[in-house]
A and B are shown apart, each in its own frame.
Chain A
Amino acid sequence: DAGVTQSPTHLIKTRGQQVTLRCSPKSGHDTVSWYQQALGQGPQFIFQYYEEEERQRGNFPDRFSGHQFPNYSSELNVNALLLGDSALYLCASSFRDRSYGYTFGSGTRLTVV
């Protein structure tokens, strides 16, 4: 059990569509980060949310947006999907001070056709 829950597990979308991915953090964690993991690569940081605000953003275009809710859960939205957006999207939760590291979910496998 990862402790971090992501849904859905798999998703197939058509180029140009929009997608929303969801994440419930590990109990007690208040900070959520999103990562994109392309095949054969390490995860790439998309952004982090804390206190319902985006705290830091990686090198991803504005088509990638997110939200954090009062219960600390989070959504990742991707607009105008491109073929290159096909990847495993990982959610990681932590305490604000990351004192115990990051706990990752199993991810959502997004395929854009």
Chain B
Amino acid sequence: AQSVSQHNHHVILSEAASLELGCNYSYGGTVNLFWYVQYPGQHLQLLLKYFSGDPLVKGIKGFEAEFIKSKFSFNLRKPSVQWSDTAEYFCAVISNFGNEKLTFGTGTRLTIIP
């Protein structure tokens, strides 16, 4: 069964600091990977996704993620965070064949201090 681990439960950074949020998944086959963001009181929004090809994926709002197959990781990065990045971030995985279940991690709460 597929699973996702997000080891950072709460991250606090100052504005302009660099960000890296960890995501590891467990599934031996081909996967699709996603990062979603949930701003306070808002719906889940897709930040970026990886299906195939270039393992470095660029998303919206300056976020990027790197798929490292050998490490089963899909870490989210941003070189310089802003106060408006304060939100909950979820990593999610879905296996590529015959499965419709998107499995989410428990989320990382990011707080940016002005």
A binds B: yes
Interchain CB contact (< 8 A) of B101 among A41, A58, A105:
A58
B104 within 8 Å of A (CB atoms):
yes
Q: Within 8 Å CB of B103, what residues of A?
A: 45
- Grouping DSSP codes into helix (H, G, I), strand (E, B) and loop, the A interface class, with mixed when no group exceeds half, is loop
Q: Mark A84-103, 1 if CB is under 8 A from B, else 0.
A: 00000010100000110111
Contact indicator A41/B106 (Cβ below 8 Å): yes
> Which A residues touch B61, using CB under 8 A?
none
Q: Count how many chain A residues have C-beta atoms less than 8 Å from C-beta atoms of the other chain.
A: 25
Q: List, in ascending order, chain B residues with CB within 8 A of A104's CB.
A: 36, 43-45
- CB neighbours of B70 from chain A (8 A): none
Check if A106 sits within 8 Å of B42, measured CB to CB.
Answer: yes
**A45→B101 CA distance, assembly (Å):** 6
In this assembly, does B105 line the interface, its C-beta being within 8 Å of a C-beta of chain A? yes
Please tell me which one of the listed residues A2, A56, A105 contacts residue B100 in the complex, with CB atoms under 8 A apart.
A56
Contact residues of B with A, CB < 8 Å? 4, 32, 34, 36, 42-46, 49, 51, 90, 92, 94, 99-107
Residues of A within 8 A of B (CB): 2, 4, 33, 35, 40-45, 48, 55-56, 58, 90, 92, 98-99, 101-107
Task: List, sorted by A's number, 23 A–B pairs whose CB atoms are closer than 8 Å.
Answer: A4-B43, A35-B102, A42-B4, A42-B104, A42-B105, A42-B107, A43-B102, A43-B104, A45-B102, A48-B100, A48-B101, A55-B100, A56-B101, A58-B101, A92-B102, A99-B51, A101-B49, A102-B34, A102-B46, A104-B45, A106-B42, A106-B43, A107-B43
